[in-house]
Amino acid sequence: MSLKPLPSNTSRFEGCTLTGALSITTSVCNSISVVHGPRGCAHHNFSLLHATALEHDSVVAPVIQSSGLLENEIIFGGEAALERTLARTASLCPACIFVLSTCIADAIGDDAGAVSRMDWGVPVIPVPTGGFLGGVFEKGVNNALCTLSDMAEPCKPEGTINIIGEKNLEYEVEENYTEISRLLSLLGLSMNIRFVHNISNKDISHLGQASLNVLRDPGINPVGNHLKARFGAAYIPSFPYGISGTLQFLEMTAAACGVPLHSALSEEISVQEDVLAGFSDLAGTRIALDERGLASPVSAVVREVAAALKMKVSEDGCRVPVPTDLPVGTAGIHRMLHRWRRVIHA
Amino acid sequence: MPECTNPLWPCAMTGAAACLAGFDGMTVVIHGSSGCYYYPTTLLHAPLYGTFIIEEEVIFGSEQRLLQVIKEVASSGQRIAVVTTCVPSILGEDIRAILASHDVLLVDSPGFSGDFESGYRNALSALEPRVSPKKFGVNIDGVCIFDPFYRGNVRELLRLLSKAKVPVATVFCADSLTRVQEASPFTIGTNSDIASGVGENLGGTLGMKELADTFSRICNVIEGADARPVLQEIASEEDRIIQVCDKFLRRFDPPRVAVFSWASYAAFAADTLRSYLDAEIVCIGTRSTPPPGSSRVFERAEGLSQVQALIENHKPDLILGSSFERPVSGDTAFVGLTPPLRGKVRLGSHPIAGIEGTLGFIEDVLNACMDQHR
């Protein structure tokens, strides 16, 4: 139970920059991430990533090396420990090494960037982190995405689409990707790379080949802008949410890519009608929505779905689960409605 | 070398939080950033609080923020414990002086100061447990909310002690806070790696032999205690174990076993499998420091690369460990023994201690081994 967030200091509660950055760097399959700090920081994050991998039915655990700072290094400096760790990590011959600092390493003034710039025989890329001293979780994600994007050189766009900044710790990350792929295929568009989700460093070099970037959510707009400046590709600021939002996503994407919209739109409207028809038994049901702490777009999407099914929202209704992360596309609505029906029929 | 690949064991801060959060009546505040708060919270499933300090407080001091949080949580009326994390512990603030006018227990346990066990012991020591000479019964120790078997262990020992007509005094560390000061002069253990050191240690409860010895000792010091029903149950259940293990050995070779766990759990598993299945224990990798003077050969396995190397070298056909070991076990039979055990739904209270603990352990091992042959 955390204390209630203070409006002026919501950043207190938004998690660690290191965790955000590691959620990206550990998704580069042939790389190793080095965490410069006490073992505990690496363990906390490895444990989280490992648990997430298990939830995603993956048996591949990311490799995280810890420089293992102890009290001695905290007093006398930890750069030598980082050097030892990088030497050992480089000897494993990964395609590249990402170096991420922690709040304690930053607090004692270790220069992880300078150590990274030494000749290690493999590319060593420092990612600005620094635990809570470096910002919050989202800042770590954005810093990592921008740093990794600089590994790619600008090249000629080939009309494909990049998915940018998938939430790799999200339980439904694969299902959300499948839905975006389905929507893009309606427009006859194909995927370039998932930046960054289970890709190699070589895949990253193709980043500039896409004509359009689809961002996971508006929190990574700085990354969208960075990619636009570097590669010239426009971006869609978010995955689609809600009934009308999904149709708008198709419209925006078609316009950005200069492809015909009409048949894709008709097909998706038909899919949405089928989904809603499957839940027509919920029409007239009174439901209550616990919207405390929810962002207004979440409420709007949820209420749109309820209205489409002619459900009545009232305080004395059946309390249905409201997702903290919006359901993505029509498939997301479909899954949310199954959860609603389970509660209503319970 | 402290450097490590994929460290598998939590830090001292988490150990301290695990100890303190096991007591009802204790409000635990993690003094640090949100990142340091979220990990123990998700791992321990305990109601922890945090100061969630930010850069501003690192530069200008965290006193105001800490006091603000203390004031807010004080309304619960519970005892408050503050556990410091890495950055606050090096800020140079005199946190003890800051908290001097409040009834707050301070546990300085930054992650860089050591491992889980050192933080656990540090916190327990800060609680200043006391033995009450007239307290009747025995304490149970080695109980930790980090351990997926902790609830099962407590229930099993309550059952067995009740059968022996022995009341339970204090459970270290999953009990009411008030009982910390009213411990019995006698203690039995479930996990010697996190023994409390409170009272006279009458022995452990891992494995049938150790359990029988411990209950015999209990009868020597607790008036009215009757170990016979427990010893009878041990004898009859051990017969059942021998029967199923013998049947297993009629068809299959004994397993070659690699064990990764706390030293005490690992020793229990190794002894049990040797005893009933004539198993070959090819390696024992411990997360914690092995007990001094131990005759067993322990190797430290604190990182995943060490675990992988041991598995690669010894090629076991049964691996006991945590969910970290499971993915690197490949097609080898696996049984969960060590926290964390993720990726599997667990609702029941399974013990590893006591009679039911050994029965459940043998059951899991035999089923895992037989599944490999199907």
Map out the domains of chain A with their CATH numbers: 13-149 (3.40.50.1980), 154-239 (3.40.50.1980), 241-346 (no CATH)
- Which token pair is A179? 């839905």
How many residues are given for chain B? 374
Per-residue pLDDT of A56-96, as tens digits, reads 887 778 999 999 999 999 999 999 999 999 999 999 999 99
Q: Do B43 and A47 touch (CB under 8 A)?
A: yes
Closest chain B C-alpha to A339 CA, distance in angstroms: 20
**Given A1, A51, A62, which is nearest B49 (Cβ)?**
A1
Cβ pairs A/B, distance under 8 A:
167
**Given A3, A16, A18, which is nearest B69 (Cβ)?**
A3
Q: Do B86 and A47 touch (CB under 8 A)?
A: no
Q: State whether residue B61 sits within 8 Å of chain A by CB.
A: no
Q: Do B6 and A19 touch (CB under 8 A)?
A: no
Q: Burial of A63 by CB count in 10 Å (0-12 exposed, 13-18 middle, 19+ buried)? A: buried
**Given A16, A54, A74, which is nearest B343 (Cβ)?**
A54
Q: Do B53 and A12 touch (CB under 8 A)?
A: yes
pTM of the model: 0.87
Q: Rounded to the nearest 5°, which phi and psi values hold at B23? A: -100, 125
Q: State whether residue B52 sits within 8 Å of chain A by CB.
A: yes
Rounded to 10°, the helix B263-277/B354-373 angle is 70
Distances (CA, A) of A145 to A125, A207, B198, B251: 12, 11, 52, 56
For residue A289, what pLDDT is reported? Answer: 86
For residue B99, what pLDDT is reported? Answer: 92
| C-alpha–C-alpha distance, residues B67 and B73, integer Å | 10
For residue A8, what pLDDT is reported? Answer: 43
3-state secondary structure of B265: helix
Q: Which chain B residue's Cα is nearest to A62?
A: B6
Contacts of B90 in chain A (CB under 8 A): 74, 104, 107-108
Q: Tokens 């150790």 map to which residue?
A: B210
Rounded to 10°, the helix A173-186/A329-344 angle is 130
Closest chain B C-alpha to A219 CA, distance in angstroms: 19
Per-residue pLDDT of B21-33, as tens digits, reads 999 999 999 999 8
For residues A37 and A102, is the Cβ–Cβ distance under 8 A? yes
* CA dihedral over A216, B6, A65, B89, signed as positive or negative: positive
Q: Which residues contact B6 (CB under 8 A, 6 or more apart)?
A: A42, A46, A61, A62, A63, A64, A65, B303, B304, B305, B324
For A4-44, the DSSP string reads: PPPGGGGGGGS--HHHHHHHHHTTBTTEEEEEES-HHHHHH
Q: Do A12 and B34 touch (CB under 8 A)?
A: yes
Q: Which residues contact B281 (CB under 8 A, 6 or more apart)?
A: B257, B259, B270, B273, B274
Contacts of B304 in chain A (CB under 8 A): 46, 61
- pLDDT (tens, 9 = 90+) of chain B, 374 residues, equals 578 899 999 999 999 999 999 999 999 999 998 889 999 998 998 989 999 998 888 888 899 999 999 999 998 889 999 999 999 998 888 999 999 999 999 999 999 999 999 999 999 999 999 999 999 999 999 999 999 999 999 999 999 999 999 999 999 999 999 999 999 999 999 999 999 999 999 999 999 999 999 999 999 999 999 999 999 999 999 999 999 999 999 999 999 999 999 999 999 999 999 999 999 999 999 987 776 666 677 888 989 999 999 999 999 999 999 999 998 888 999 999 999 998 888 899 999 999 999 999 999 999 999 998 87
For residue A2, what pLDDT is reported? Answer: 41
Half-sphere exposure of B264 (CA within 13 A, CB side): 20
| C-alpha–C-alpha distance, residues B112 and B228, integer Å | 48
| C-alpha–C-alpha distance, residues A182 and A249, integer Å | 12
CA dihedral A135, A136, A142, A146 (to 10 degrees): 30
For residues A167 and A219, is the Cβ–Cβ distance under 8 A? no
Closest chain A C-alpha to B339 CA, distance in angstroms: 11
Measure the CA angle with vertex B362, ends B358 and B365; round to 5°.
140
Half-sphere exposure of B52 (CA within 13 A, CB side): 22
Q: Which residues of B27-40 are buried (b: 16+ CB within 10 A; e: fewer)?
A: bbbbbbbbbbbbbb
Name the residue with higher pLDDT: A58 or A334: A334
Q: CA nearest B50: which of B58, B114, B65? A: B65
Name the B residues in 200-239 with CB < 8 Å from any A CB.
none
Contacts of B10 in chain A (CB under 8 A): 40, 43-44, 47
For residues B11 and B30, is the Cβ–Cβ distance under 8 A? no
Domains delineated in chain B: 12-126 (3.40.50.1980), 138-232 (3.40.50), 240-373 (3.40.50.1980)
Half-sphere exposure of A256 (CA within 13 A, CB side): 22
Average pLDDT over residues A302-331: 92
Q: Do A66 and B39 touch (CB under 8 A)?
A: no
| C-alpha–C-alpha distance, residues B306 and B260, integer Å | 11
Q: State whether residue B47 sits within 8 Å of chain A by CB.
A: yes
Q: CA nearest A184: which of A235, A245, A254? A: A254
Q: CA nearest B141: which of B81, B79, B203? A: B203
For residues B143 and B124, is the Cβ–Cβ distance under 8 A? no
Closest chain A C-alpha to B352 CA, distance in angstroms: 23
Q: Tokens 């010697």 map to which residue?
A: B192
Q: State whether residue A56 sits within 8 Å of chain B by CB.
A: no
Q: CA nearest B147: which of B18, B57, B29? A: B18
For chain A, the maximum distance between any two Cα atoms, rounded to a whole number of angstroms, is 69
Q: Rounded to the nearest 5°, which phi and psi values hold at B181? A: -90, 0
**Given A12, A18, A133, which is nearest B52 (Cβ)?**
A12
| C-alpha–C-alpha distance, residues B194 and B116, integer Å | 10
For residue A7, what pLDDT is reported? Answer: 36
Long-range pairs, B366-371, Cβ under 8 A, ≥24:
B366/B244, B366/B245, B366/B248, B368/B318, B368/B333, B368/B334, B368/B335, B369/B248, B369/B252, B369/B255, B369/B317, B369/B318, B369/B333, B370/B248, B370/B252, B371/B333
- This complex has an ipTM of 0.84
Q: Do A19 and B49 touch (CB under 8 A)?
A: no
User: Would you say residue A6 has pLDDT above 80?
Assistant: no
Q: Do A71 and B113 touch (CB under 8 A)?
A: yes
Q: Do B3 and A19 touch (CB under 8 A)?
A: no
Q: CA nearest B51: which of B25, B27, B70? A: B70
Closest chain B C-alpha to A38 CA, distance in angstroms: 5
How many residues are given for chain A? 346
Contacts of B37 in chain A (CB under 8 A): 2
What letter would DSSP give residue B7?
B
For residue A131, what pLDDT is reported? Answer: 67
For B171-217, the DSSP string reads: ETTSEEGGGGGSB-SEEEES-GGG----SEEEEE-SSHHHHHHHHHH
Per-residue pLDDT of A247-277, as tens digits, reads 999 999 999 999 999 999 999 999 999 999 9
Q: Do B90 and A12 touch (CB under 8 A)?
A: no
Strands A312-313 and B49-50: unpaired
Measure the CA angle with vertex B107, ends B102 and B110; round to 5°.
135
Q: Do B55 and A133 touch (CB under 8 A)?
A: yes
Residue B7: strand pairing partners: B303
Q: Do B3 and A68 touch (CB under 8 A)?
A: yes
Percentage of residues in chain A having pLDDT higher than 70: 95
CA-based end-to-end distance of chain B: 43
| C-alpha–C-alpha distance, residues B357 and B323, integer Å | 19
Q: Which residues contact A320 (CB under 8 A, 6 or more apart)?
A: A287, A288, A289, A339, A340, A343, A344
Per-residue pLDDT of A227-247, as tens digits, reads 999 999 999 999 999 999 999
| C-alpha–C-alpha distance, residues B257 and B283, integer Å | 7
Q: State whether residue A48 sits within 8 Å of chain B by CB.
A: yes
Residue from B14, B52, B90 to probe the interface with A (highest A Cβ count within 10 Å): B52
Q: Do A84 and B3 touch (CB under 8 A)?
A: yes
**Given A3, A46, A71, which is nearest B6 (Cβ)?**
A46
Q: State whether residue B309 sits within 8 Å of chain A by CB.
A: no
Q: State whether residue A71 sits within 8 Å of chain B by CB.
A: yes
Name the A residues in 233-272 with CB < 8 Å from any B CB.
none
Q: Identify the band that residue A293 occupies on the pLDDT scale cut at 50, 70 and 90.
A: low
Q: State whether residue B60 sits within 8 Å of chain A by CB.
A: no
For B127-172, the DSSP string reads: T---B-TT--SEEEE---TTSTTHHHHHHHHHHHHHHTT--EEEET
- Which token pair is B205? 């409860």
Contacts of A54 in chain B (CB under 8 A): 323, 327, 342-343
3-state secondary structure of B101: coil
CA dihedral A256, A259, A262, A267 (to 10 degrees): -90
| C-alpha–C-alpha distance, residues B353 and B155, integer Å | 10
Q: Which chain B residue's Cα is nearest to A64?
A: B6
Distances (CA, A) of B342 to A39, A53, B34, B42: 21, 10, 23, 12
